[in-house]
Amino acid sequence: MEIKPLKDKPDFTKDKKIAEKYAKFEKLLNELRGRDIPTTIVADINTEVDLLNAFMGSDKDYKKQLRKSRAAIIKQLEKELKLVPQNYYQSTWMALGMTVFGLPFGTIFGMSLDNMAFLGIGLPIGMAIGIAIGSGMDAKAKEEGRQLAIDA
């Protein structure tokens, strides 16, 4: 089964932001066409493409639908095939690092120095830890051939 093409909508692609999101979506589809993907996932991708091809709403709603469809496809690829875009884990773990590591470190600094103003010191520490973990996972995904040649 083959991935369907995204129909060009000239009235929507006049807007610069919509054109950028459209190009990102098209790049994702082109990248997936070069990979061996199971037919069940191809069918789900084609459903998202059909949804976009049949879209009849406003520019703003089309831009939102492009973003949602792209995110849904990437989420499914990550969940079922472990295929991820470049810097996927880095951006995910940066936020996790700030909350999981940064806030507790900041609380410890604030309580140990008896001044809760030092709570903010933990956030950059957690961010650095998260970026380090995510970068390692991205490197591993690239080494195993599970990384797509698109940006997250």
Question: Which residues 6+ apart lie within 8 Å of 126 measured at CB?
Answer: 97, 98, 99, 100, 101, 102, 103, 105, 106
Helix (H, G, I), strand (E, B) or coil at 62: helix
User: Tokens 């091809």, residue?
Assistant: 53
Q: What span, in angstroms and rounded, lies between the C-alpha atoms of 106 and 15?
A: 43
Residue 1 has pLDDT above 90, yes or no: no
The pLDDT assigned to 11 comes to 72
Give residues with Cβ within 8 angstroms of 139, minimum separation 6.
none
DSSP per position, 78-113: IIII--EEETHHHHHHHHHIIIIIIHHHHHHHHHHT
Task: Identify the band that residue 12 occupies on the pLDDT scale cut at 50, 70 and 90.
Answer: low
Confidence band of 15 (pLDDT split at 50, 70, 90)? confident
**How far apart (Å, rounded) are the C-alpha atoms in residues 36 and 44?**
15
How large is the average pLDDT for residues 142-147?
Answer: 94
- Please indicate whether residue 13 or residue 148 has the higher confidence score (pLDDT): 148
pLDDT of residue 13: 64
Model pTM score: 0.83
Digit-coded pLDDT (tens) for 20-44: 888 999 999 999 998 999 999 999 9
pLDDT given for residue 93 in this prediction: 96
Give percent of the chain with pLDDT exceeding 70.
Answer: 99
Q: How far is CA 91 from CA 79, 127, 140, 150, in A?
A: 17, 10, 15, 14
Tokens of 101: 């590591």
Average of per-residue pLDDT across 109-119: 90
